[in-house]
Amino acid sequence: MKETFRFGRIAGIPIGTHWSVLGMVLIISGSLAWTTLPYLVPGRSTTAYWITGVLVAVVFVASLLVHELAHALTALRFRVPVQRITLWMLGGVSVLDGDPQTPRGAFLIAAAGPAASLGLGGLGLGTGLLLRASDHGGLLQMSVVWLAVMNLALCVFNLLPGVPLDGGRVLRAALWHRYGDPDKATAVASVAGQAVGALVALGGVAELITKDPGGLWLLAVGYVIALAATTEGRQARHRPASTPTD
């Protein structure tokens, strides 16, 4: 995934976004402003819903960056150079220059992202409860809770056991430890990734059959997962120069 905009560096890591991030922001903002926030917090103005929706969408994109930074900073700890972090419509990617020297390092790098999302989710839920207890509910509280739930969902989804998802990379680390061969581990984890992608896509088809437009999103995500898993499986014969971590 090539970046469209470069924002700068964090800990020496180039940070950029693909233009499709704008689509993510628009979809999230529209969904919040038109349906979610009016349902959860009725009686506010359309302007208030839209301002809140846009701000929440931007914060969610920032939480994706935190997820990717957790991967990247852990990789640097294990002396694995990081080429860049790029955010796009379906999430983010941290491009690493190779593997760590041990399966343990690979496991910790893969697990760092979901751990960061889990931490953000827990922090958000706690903040939401404090806001409710202090009578600062309404749009602010619901926005914080929505962000918390989305980060927890991001954590759970990314732990599905198939590359290029983080759970697939955790599986690859375990297989690497078992086989002693990172390429063989990649080949096996890529098969799991293809299966996960197919299941996610089938879930999208099922939603489309029930006339739920959200099925298009799942269909796209499933296709991307299966495609990336297939590509990594083909490259498993030779250790790639750069390994993406989602």
Note the helical H segments in 103-237. 103-133, 139-158, 166-179, 182-209, 214-235
CA 228/CA 118 separation, integer angstroms: 25
CA distances from 123 to 110, 141, 151, 227 (A): 21, 13, 10, 34
* 68 included as an active-site residue: yes
Q: Which of 3, 68, 207, 232 is catalytic?
A: 68
Apex CA 101: angle with CA 164 and CA 91, to 5°? 25
> Measured in whole angstroms, how far is the alpha carbon of residue 211 from the centre of its chain?
26
Q: Would residue 53 be called left, alpha or beta, if left means φ above 0 and alpha means ψ between -120 and 50 degrees?
A: alpha
Residue at 182: amino acid letter: P
Q: Any idea which residues carry the catalytic annotation?
A: 68
